[in-house]
């Protein structure tokens, strides 16, 4: 490393270390301890780094002690990271909520004449991105738990017996760390998704509460920018699509359960080929790990991708 971070000096070129070797300096007597370089070292910078590190560990510890950290995914961490990614959220104004309700009523009138299924939504609401996160998190738990459980189980089963015995006392801690890792990944994904979705069924899955048609006006306004259609027409179109989804999910009673169960079946079918990973790891040139393009090339070889099973192909169909 040509430019060591946080004021640390290069271990191969440290004049103070050489002075210590010659007896000309020692910690507390003019020498700089622990490899710190006198040039460019800012104690305040080190203090800030240690403070941030302590805050991170403190946050991890408090998250482990909450209910959201007891499962395969730490959903407390996921929600916290998603909300941090969203930043400040502007509340829905009364006028915007009224516009959404009007669009939903108009959409239902049109659908009454265009479909045989009666209305499925008992109410229409306007959500912020944070509202979407709150109201869909329970469904994400159902979808994500099987994935996390399967991957965690595969890593444990892939350990040699001796390693399992040695790691026995630490398996609980490893499980908590795994929950934090999954929660962190999920939080980043949900934070991004919550700022982009337009309705509660925008991804094709019934994520929100049953019978509640929800539109996200802030995202819809961004979506409308640059389109030739008036904003009100776009709002009515999206309201009609949302209402149509709810008619399906409410009046075809097996559809909601079957759709979510199929996602769960696909998640439980995830398999990893550990022999392929071992082969790939043996053939990796350590120097390639410093080159991002080489790392990307290694990952694209497919050894680190889950293997698609016949059961998963059936679930996809």
Domain check: are 280 and 245 in the same one? no
In a domain, 115, yes or no: yes
Q: How much is the pLDDT for 179?
A: 79
What would the mean pLDDT of 32-46 be, rounded to a whole number? 46
In a domain, 11, yes or no: no
Q: How much is the pLDDT for 119?
A: 95
Answer with the one of 254, 270, 286 that is the final residue of a domain. 270
d(CA 148, CA 136): 18
Domain check: are 225 and 238 in the same one? yes
pLDDT at 206 over 80: yes
212: enclosing H helix or E strand: strand 212-215
Residue with tokens 């006392």: 169
Domain check: are 180 and 145 in the same one? yes
d(CA 191, CA 172): 28
Please tell me the pTM assigned to this model.
0.66
Domain check: are 238 and 299 in the same one? no
Q: Which residues contact 223 (CB under 8 A, 6 or more apart)?
A: 198, 234
pLDDT at 53 over 50: no
Q: Which domain holds residue 315?
A: 273-317
Question: What does each C-alpha distance from 203 to 4, 39, 68, 97 come to in angstroms?
Answer: 45, 54, 25, 22
In a domain, 2, yes or no: no
Q: How much is the pLDDT for 153?
A: 66
Answer with the one of 255, 270, 285 that is the final residue of a domain. 270
218 or 15, which is more confident: 218
107 C-beta neighbours (distance < 10 Å), count: 24
What would the mean pLDDT of 195-200 be, rounded to a whole number? 96
Lowest mean pLDDT among 5-19, 103-117, 204-218: 5-19
Lowest mean pLDDT among 11-25, 104-118, 241-255, 257-271: 11-25
pLDDT at 9 over 60: no
pLDDT at 190 over 90: yes
Rounded to 5°, the CA angle 161-162-163 comes to: 90
Instruction: Give the bridge partners for 124, in sequence order.
Output: 213
The structural domain count of the chain equals: 2
Domain check: are 175 and 194 in the same one? yes
Q: How much is the pLDDT for 147?
A: 79
In a domain, 285, yes or no: yes
Domain check: are 260 and 280 in the same one? no
Percent of the chain with pLDDT over 90: 41
In a domain, 57, yes or no: no
d(CA 132, CA 137): 8
pLDDT at 242 over 50: yes
238 C-beta neighbours (distance < 10 Å), count: 23
Domain check: are 123 and 201 in the same one? yes
The secondary structure of residue 22, as a DSSP letter, is T
In a domain, 144, yes or no: yes
The pLDDT tens digits for 276-314 are 555 555 555 565 555 666 555 655 555 455 567 777 777
Domain check: are 294 and 167 in the same one? no
| Mean of pLDDT over the chain | 75
Domain check: are 86 and 220 in the same one? yes
pLDDT at 182 over 70: yes
In a domain, 17, yes or no: no
In a domain, 163, yes or no: yes
Domain check: are 235 and 193 in the same one? yes
Q: How much is the pLDDT for 156?
A: 61
Domain check: are 301 and 226 in the same one? no
What does DSSP say about strands 123-126 and 212-215: parallel, antiparallel, or unpaired? parallel
Domain check: are 118 and 152 in the same one? yes
Q: Which residues contact 232 (CB under 8 A, 6 or more apart)?
A: 99, 103
Lowest mean pLDDT among 37-46, 83-92, 164-173, 193-202: 37-46
């Amino acid at each position: 490393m040509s430019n060591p971070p946080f004021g640390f000096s290069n271990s191969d070129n440290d004049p103070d270390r050489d002075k210590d070797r010659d007896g000309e300096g020692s910690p507390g007597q003019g020498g700089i301890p622990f490899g710190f370089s006198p040039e460019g070292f800012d104690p305040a910078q080190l203090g800030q780094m240690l403070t941030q590190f302590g805050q991170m560990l403190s946050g991890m510890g408090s998250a482990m002690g909450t209910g959201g950290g007891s499962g395969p995914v730490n959903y407390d961490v996921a929600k916290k990271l998603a909300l941090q990614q969203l930043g400040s959220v502007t509340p829905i104004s009364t006028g915007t909520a009224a516009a959404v309700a009007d669009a939903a009523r108009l959409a239902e009138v049109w659908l009454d004449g265009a479909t045989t299924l009666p209305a499925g939504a008992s109410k229409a609401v306007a959500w912020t991105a944070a509202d979407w996160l709150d109201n869909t998190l329970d469904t994400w738990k159902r979808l994500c738990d099987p994935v996390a459980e399967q991957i965690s189980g595969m890593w444990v089963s892939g350990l040699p017996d001796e390693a399992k015995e040695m790691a026995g006392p630490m398996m609980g801690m490893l499980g908590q760390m795994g929950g934090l890792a999954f929660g962190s990944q999920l939080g980043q994904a949900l934070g991004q998704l919550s700022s982009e979705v337009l309705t509660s069924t925008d991804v094709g899955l019934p994520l929100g509460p049953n019978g509640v048609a929800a539109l996200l006006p802030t995202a819809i306004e961004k979506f409308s920018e640059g389109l030739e259609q008036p904003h009100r027409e776009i709002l009515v179109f999206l309201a009609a699509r949302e209402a149509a989804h709810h008619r399906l999910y409410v009046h075809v009673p097996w559809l909601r359960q079957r759709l979510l169960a199929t996602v769960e079946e696909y998640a439980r079918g995830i398999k990893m080929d550990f022999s392929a990973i071992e082969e790939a790891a043996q053939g990796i040139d350590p120097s390639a790990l410093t080159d991002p393009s080489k790392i990307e090339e290694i990952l694209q070889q497919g050894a680190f991708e889950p293997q698609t099973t016949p059961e998963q192909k059936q679930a996809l169909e």
